[in-house]
Structure 1
Amino acid sequence: MLLEVKDLHVSYGAIRALKGISCQVAEGEIVALIGANGAGKTTTLRTVSGLIRPQAGSIIYRGQPITKLPPHQIVSLGICQVPEGRRVFTRMTVLENLEMGAYSRKDRANIKSDIERVFQRFPRLAERKAQLAGTLSGGEQQMLAMGRALMSRPTLLLMDEPSMGLAPMLVQEIFSIIQEINQNGTTILLVEQNAHMALSIAHRAYVLETGELVLAGSAKELANNPEVRKAYLGE
């Protein structure tokens, strides 16, 4: 198993954000976490990437506990997060943002070819490589955030709300790129409000409600589950 989350508890002061969740991600999968706002989805990703320390529980990556490691060490192990709201470096160019994504790498010689690969995958970024990231559209910033994360050569990519604030046509494009990234060998743990899109590309999924896992199964099973359809698919 690539990633195992066991009995994770996280609190913000008196608020219990995660109440003992356990989930797994196998190599090569796209696993979706779905649920309403405030369910604990983003908290789960931030805890896996070391940005939040849990009160209890463990996170195992490739058989090794990473629960107490700082974020930069977790990145160097092969876990990278595309944050909610994109968080690009607005005063830096597209190219500089991509170079920042490779900051932890020692193999400087391969960085240039990886940047070219990102430009092949996202031709719009190639056209705008000298442009300040803050002047890009929302969709282009999402592509840049994804490209920047790929520059760290992750084995596991954590994606937080990639469709947020995007026009429906762009959402389709972003999700097909996520599938392509997965088919090229990157495992993905996806947090997404748009449950319909998430379940259409995921292999498996978990449903979170107020910090607890209430359902788990194949994406197909959950997409056909009457409770899920009513609560998250608007049917």
Structure 2
Amino acid sequence: MLKVTNLNVSYGAIHAIHNVSLEVHQGEIVSLIGANGAGKTTILHTITGLKKATSGEVFLEGTNLLTTDPAKIVTLGMAHVPEGRRIFSQMTVKENLEIGAFIRGDNEQIAQDIEQVYSHFPRLKERYKQAAGTLSGGEQQMLAIGRAMMSKPQIMLMDEPSMGLSPLLVKEIFHIIQELNHNGMTILLVEQNAKMALSIANRAYVLETGNVVMEGNAQDMLADDKVKKAYLGL
């Protein structure tokens, strides 16, 4: 579904991403783990057109994303839940969800899909008239995921969904990610909480200073001594 081949990205003279290759197959959860500053967010930004690649290829279902207008990428069935949530804080919860469906014109179906989001996130329904900026951190993360769902994507890129959340809310968010996947959503998950990310993923890639240094079955990585020592605090 998503294939990244020999991706290189630079910030001026700094070569940030070095020949990274990864694949996400339909129906999978694939986790990209690594320390802060390893380049995980840069890869997502390059996939979604927010950052220009120096070289390499990024294909989504046969379409070259590196030569596609970033504004059109969302129409290809990809949604991005950004680091830090990036919700529209002055707008209501419902208005944020409606903005997530801006590429669509099927108003009746949009209304039904908002109700579907509320079924996943009952707290958003309780607060649908509230300004999004007044929500708790966990509720804002739910809203960011719900907004991404409104574009009806085939694949969702999630960047640090557990950031700043309590352990209880982290478990809730990861349960929601699994639920979305069970309902057919393909997910590329960038996450510093390696243990949680690996526990729900099919496969995973480990990134260090812009290089993929390990890849494979996520459960095998959970049991790998190097991964345990470097990323799981064991």
Counterparts of residues 1-235 of structure 1 (less than 5 Å): 2-235=1-234
**Can you give the 5+ residue segments of structure 1 that lack an aligned partner in the other structure?**
none
The answer to whether the 8 A contact 2:18-2:210 is kept is yes
Partner of 2:67: helix, strand, or coil? coil
Distance in 2, Cα, partners of 1:225 & 1:208: 15
Partner of 1:146: helix, strand, or coil? helix
Partner of 2:124: helix, strand, or coil? helix
Task: Give 1:122 deviation, angstroms.
Answer: 0.2
Distance in 2, Cα, partners of 1:164 & 1:150: 20
Distance in 1, Cα, partners of 2:69 & 2:230: 36
The answer to whether the 8 A contact 2:48-2:65 is kept is no
Deviations 1:29-53 (A, max 9, x none): 0000000011110011111111111
The answer to whether the 8 A contact 2:29-2:187 is kept is yes
**Can you give the 5+ residue segments of structure 2 that lack an aligned partner in the other structure?**
none
Q: How many residues align?
A: 234
Task: Give 1:105 deviation, angstroms.
Answer: 1.3
Task: Give 1:65 deviation, angstroms.
Answer: 1.4
TM-score by length of 2: 0.99
Which region of structure 1 is more displaced relative to structure 2, 118-127 or 107-116? 107-116
The answer to whether the 8 A contact 1:51-1:70 is kept is no
The CA RMSD measured in Å over matched residues stands at 0.7
The answer to whether the 8 A contact 2:205-2:215 is kept is yes
Deviations 1:150-189 (A, max 9, x none): 0000101000000000000000000000000011011000
**Aligned amino acid, residue 90 of structure 1:** S
TM-score by length of 1: 0.98
Distance in 2, Cα, partners of 1:76 & 1:216: 30
Distance in 2, Cα, partners of 1:86 & 1:165: 11
Distance in 2, Cα, partners of 1:70 & 1:140: 31
Distance in 1, Cα, partners of 2:63 & 2:134: 41
Distance in 2, Cα, partners of 1:17 & 1:33: 16
Distance in 1, Cα, partners of 2:69 & 2:231: 34
**Aligned amino acid, residue 211 of structure 2:** E
Task: Give 1:108 deviation, angstroms.
Answer: 2.5
Distance in 1, Cα, partners of 2:69 & 2:185: 22
Deviations 1:53-97 (A, max 9, x none): 101001011122121212221100011100000010000000000
Distance in 1, Cα, partners of 2:139 & 2:201: 23
